[in-house]
Structure 1
Amino acid sequence: MAETITVYLLWHVHHLAEEGGKVRHFSGSDDFWSDEEAGDDVKHLGTYSSREAARRRIERARQLPGFADEPNCFYIQDSVLDEDEWTSGYVEA
Structure 2
Amino acid sequence: MDVYLLRHIHHAQPPDGSPIRHIDDDGDLIWDEKEDEIKLLGVYSSEQRAQERILQARTLPGFEDEPDCFHIDRTRVDRDHWTSGYFTYHY
Would you say same fold, with TM above 0.5?
yes
Distance 1:66 1:60 in 2: 13
Partner of 1:75: 71
Partner of 1:22: 19
1:36-47 equivalences under 5 Å are 36-38=33-35, 40-47=36-43
RMSD: 2.2
TM-score by length of 2: 0.83
Partner of 2:30: 33
Identity %: 48
Any stretches of 5+ residues in structure 2 without a counterpart? none
Partner of 2:56: 60
| Deviation >3 Å, runs of 4+ | none
TM-score by length of 1: 0.81
Amino acid at match of 1:46: G
Tell me the matched-pair count: 87
Distance 1:74 1:19, change over 3 A: farther
Kindly indicate whether the alpha-carbon contact (under 8 Å) linking 1:31 and 1:75 is maintained by their aligned counterparts in 2: no
Any stretches of 5+ residues in structure 1 without a counterpart? none
Distance 2:12 2:21 in 1: 8
